[in-house]
């Protein structure tokens, strides 16, 4: 792992997040989703509702996320990142991307071409294109 590869671990370590909390934090940063329920997050991440709930509790305690009562159903609580949570999620995503940049720089030209073809196919998927577009917009500011 290159020197920037350790950046992801450093950011997560400094934040005191568990792996599950980090996954939920980054998932809540996905564009076009202002807020979601714990159940929806558990389904999206493929983790149990109990695990998603514990992770969410930790994010709320750290003031990285909030729970808001659903306007249409008072029994439902929706999750939203706080500005602090959004900044941390952006740092984690940026560190991950820097690690990928280091990796691709280490490839031979033919390997890089194969990887580029595969990634272009992925970027055609709307959900991935939205995440990439959102990150590019934030980086270019």
Please report the beta strands in 13-127, taking only residues with DSSP state E, as ranges in sequence order.
65-69, 77-81
Q: What is the DSSP letter of 36?
A: B
* Cα–Cα distance for residue pair 104/115, rounded to 1 Å: 8
The tens digit of pLDDT for each residue in 6-35 reads: 777 788 888 889 989 999 999 998 765 556
State the average pLDDT over residues 83-103.
89
Which domains does the chain possess? 5-105 (1.10.10.10), 107-141 (no CATH)
Other C-beta atoms lying within 10 Å of the C-beta of residue 59:
26
How confident is the model over 33-70, as pLDDT tens digits? Answer: 556 889 889 988 889 999 999 999 999 999 999 998 88
Reported pTM: 0.71
């Amino acid at each position: 792992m290159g020197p920037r590869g350790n950046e992801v671990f450093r950011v997560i370590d400094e934040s005191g997040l568990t792996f599950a909390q980090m996954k939920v934090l980054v998932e809540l940063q996905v564009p076009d989703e202002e807020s979601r329920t714990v159940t929806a997050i558990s389904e999206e991440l493929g983790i149990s509702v109990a695990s998603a709930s514990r992770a969410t509790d930790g994010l709320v305690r750290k003031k990285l996320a909030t729970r808001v009562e659903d306007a249409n159903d008072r029994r439902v609580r929706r999750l939203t990142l706080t500005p602090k949570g959004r900044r941390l999620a952006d740092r984690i995503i940026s560190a991950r991307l820097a690690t990928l940049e280091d990796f691709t720089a280490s490839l031979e030209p033919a390997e890089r071409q194969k990887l580029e073809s595969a990634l272009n196919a992925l970027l055609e998927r709307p959900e991935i294109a939205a995440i990439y577009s959102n990150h590019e917009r934030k980086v270019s500011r």
